[in-house]
A = this chain, B = another copy of it.
Amino acid sequence: MSNIERYADLAERIIDLSADFRLRDPEDYIKWYGNEHTNIEWLEKFVYGLPELNRDAILGSRYVSGVGCNATATNLAVWPLFNAGLVEPGSSVICEVKVGSSEGGNKSSDATHHPERARVMRSFAPTGHRHTSEILQAIHVSGSDSRVYLSATAVDNVRGVLATAHLFVKDGVEERDLYRAYRGAYRNEPFVRIVKERTGVYRYPEPKILAGSNYADVGFEKEQGSNRVVAISAIDNLMKGAAGTAVQCMNLMHGWDETTGLTFPGLHPV
């Protein structure tokens, strides 16, 4: 009897925070995790647990996967543009995520020893980051055939993810089209805010103002004279990146107010 079967015997509902049930296609486990999945029949029972993409399915499901923090930051940044059909077919998405040390878990190592980990700008996954598969899965739902290239860099923070995604939109797409896409996607979302200011210190999404919060801030900038769009998203990886989103899913699965326990706006300044 596998672990998941034992857990399912014990609990009516499961939100699994591991990476074991995030992907639908068994082949993806071989490709990204290097192993055959040992409970393939359970993959279709699980729903990917990101409410902004998958709320209806989560509402009706007993089994919900957790989400990868870097995938979540990226998905929230780029998904509305795919959903609105604005992305140039065949173009690539290149995303660089900057992450704090709490992403690495609570076990100490040579790499997390303070004298070695403090003040870094450290490429730890230039290619091959496993969360890429969760981004591909999300955008392929919209029919896109785009490739996704993810790189991750550790910086001297404890909490926080900033995703900076570069994508190319179709000719003629203008800033107002992008606004419309983001507003359409997030107008009714309790935890996503569009951040884009012309002046001031905080003009784009920043994890700094989200410490402890389940909010995800999303912004963008279209380059003058080209079709490049930089889509930016900030989260606290310990909240919206994993545990907070799981609580949000739990609220949905039980029919409770989706924001229960999650209204903390973030501690500032930290």
Tallying the copies of this chain within the complex gives: 4
Across the interface, A153 reaches (CB within 8 A) one of B111, B164, B223, B228, namely B164
Q: What residue of chain B has the Cβ atom nearest to residue A118's Cβ? A: B158
CB of B101 within 8 A of CB of A115, answer yes
CB of A162 within 8 A of CB of B158, answer no
Given contacts A119-B158, A153-B162, A201-B116, contact A108 B106 (CB under 8 A): no
Within the assembled complex, what's the spacing in Å between the Cα atoms of A162 and B117?
15
User: A121 within 8 Å of B by Cβ?
Assistant: yes
CB of A208 within 8 A of CB of B270, answer no
Which size class do A's interface residues fall under? Answer: 35 or more
Give residues 7-61 of A contacting B (CB, 8 Å): none
* Interface bits A202-223 vs B (CB < 8 Å: 1, else 0): 0111111001100000010111
Interface residues, chain A, with chain B CB atoms under 8 Å away? 94, 96, 98, 100-102, 106-123, 126-128, 147, 149, 151, 153, 155-160, 162, 164, 166, 201, 203-208, 211-212, 219, 221-224, 226, 228, 230, 232, 234, 264, 267, 269-270
